[in-house]
Amino acid sequence: MTATLMAGLLPFQHEEFFPFKDAEVAGRQREAFAYVRSTYVGKTFPLLVSGRAVSDRDTFEVRNPADRAEVVWHFPKATEQDLRDAIDAATVAFESWRFSDPMQRASIMLKAAALLRARRMEFNAVMTLENGKNWAEADGEVAECVDHLEIFARETLKWAQGKPVEPMQDEHVTMVYEPLGVVAVISPWNFPAAIPLGMALGAIAAGNTVVWKPASETPLSSYLMIELLHEAGLPQGVIQFLTGTDDVLGDPLVDSPKIRMVAFTGSREIGCRIYERAAKVQPGQKWLKRVIAEMGGKDPTVVAADADLDAAAQGIVAASFGYAGQKCSACSRAIVEDSVYDAVLQKVVDLAGKIQVGLPEENAPLGPVIHEGSLQRILGFVEEGKRSAKLVLGGERATVEGRDGAYLQPTIFADVAPDSSLFQEEIFGPVLTFTRARDWRHAIELANDSDYGLTASFYSKDPVKIAEARRLMHVGNLYVNRKCTGAMSGTHAFGGYNMSGTNAKVGGPDYLFWFVQTKTIAQKY
């Protein structure tokens, strides 16, 4: 039956990005900003608990990172009772949702995809005002959300079929997958729609329920996505939505004995804390909690001497300075073979030097980092670089007239030593380092010299070198002759090695395995 339903689905196609160079398309995006400003700015949005909108709580401000003087909207601070109520409601909802028809789940996702297509520019504008992405970066993420909904609808039906086993003459044996229970989804501010949606869809596609905790910097991008799922037919209790402070929604959420699994994306520090706390069996807990964690990267681009140097330079710049380097997949280390090092460095400096800093709402190529605290942390790395390496571009705070934002010039350091913190630690800003390698094999060794292992790029025209890079580069996502950002759901299953996380590959064919448990049923004839 499920196979028949799968056969009725159209072949999957990635959602196309909007061509903002087209004046008519750009005009519609500007209209979307006007709509969001007139409809959402100044509002207070609720928690979603037990199918109810809860708003009679103390609130916190969400500010526009492009101009911190602007408060865009408010959200409630959930209480300890709200957390208990949300977990209890998700537990109750699980008892019915676990037995929901897989086609029902898939149909909800497909309808949500259609609804989101019609509102993409609105969601783009909300995201820009929350986390400072320009139009193209926001649109890339919202398009990814459409892809997630389409892909997870198909994965729902695939996993509902179970897996074949070797038959026996006197027994009928099946292997099926069952949901786990309540999944805590804890998400970051840099991808406030696609990342939590991917984790939540993994949960609900398998028949689990969700307690969704977004980053405090970007809650509306999550809230609107949940509203969209409800409009598409998702029962109200399947997702509980909580915003607020970490003392209420951090450790207590992870520690709850009723939480069956934690799906987390964020910093290494918090990811390791979650992993440790989730390992402790709490009183009344009947399972070992499962954890998936994506905790960042220190992503290299390796350039061999025979590479297309112009293509390599363009890929490095796009991956390093897109969204001000605030992607876990961003290129932060260029490792270049000695004989072409100076040439590649100069090409990258020339390209990066043309990047304009400005307002994301006006689609500037380089906007602010998320807040002043983040900028000060990045500037600490910059000051170290000025002492230990060669500053060849930027290195100073940038200003946008009349706006109070945390802006930084695109910054490049050359001759960075492999043992320096610039080479080893995640900076999470528009800062790129260049390191010289003796040859292409040495470059691969340097690329692997990291606690992380999320993405990497390798540029070469030589099939032998490419084959060795494919075999030896220790990352979850390796890109050959293209930039190391821009994973596409359904194609580039995304997740990393080592301290980049648990390698749960969102958007891939085995992602749902993390959200299920396996049952073998043998019935004797």
Q: What is the CATH number of domain 24-295+504-524?
A: 3.40.605.10
Q: Are 514 and 177 in contact (CB under 8 A)?
A: no
Number of Cβ within a 10 Å radius of residue 449: 17
Q: What is the pLDDT of residue 6?
A: 63
The two tokens of residue 318 are 């796009």
What does the alpha-carbon distance between residue 370 and residue 360 come to, in Å, rounded to a whole number?
12
Sign of CA dihedral 25, 34, 112, 216: positive
Contacts of 441 (CB under 8 A, 6+ apart): 468
The number of angstroms, rounded, from the C-alpha of 126 to the middle of its chain's C-alpha atoms is 17
What does the alpha-carbon distance between residue 156 and residue 208 come to, in Å, rounded to a whole number?
12
Q: What are the domain boundaries of the chain?
A: 24-295+504-524, 299-489
Label each residue of 296-311 as H, E or C. CCCEEEEECCCCCHHH
What does the alpha-carbon distance between residue 285 and residue 291 come to, in Å, rounded to a whole number?
15
Q: What is the pLDDT of residue 9?
A: 87
Domains 24-295+504-524 and 299-489 belong to one CATH topology? no
Q: What is the pLDDT of residue 416?
A: 98
Average pLDDT for consecutive 10-residue bins of the chain (525 residues)? 62 97 98 98 97 96 98 98 98 98 97 98 98 98 98 97 93 96 98 98 98 98 98 97 96 98 97 98 97 97 98 98 98 98 98 98 98 98 97 97 97 98 97 98 98 98 98 98 98 97 97 97 95
**Closest to 239 measured CA to CA, from 201, 286, 266, 272:** 201
Per-position b or e across 381-415, b if 16+ CB within 10 A of its CB: bbeebeebbeebbbbeebebeebbbbbbbbbbbbe
383 is catalytic: no
Q: Coil, helix or strand for 464?
A: helix
Label each residue of 286-344 as H, E or C. CCCCEEEEECCCCEEEEECCCCCHHHHHHHHHHHHHHHHHCCCCCEEEEEEEHHHHHHH
CATH fold of the domain at 299-489:
Aldehyde Dehydrogenase; Chain A, domain 2 (3.40.309)
**DSSP-assigned letter for residue 459:** E
Q: Coil, helix or strand for 317?
A: helix
Q: What is the pLDDT of residue 1?
A: 47
Q: Coil, helix or strand for 380?
A: helix
Give the active site residue among 137, 144, 294, 361: 294
| Separate counts of helices (H) and strands (E) for the chain | 17, 22
**DSSP-assigned letter for residue 18:** P
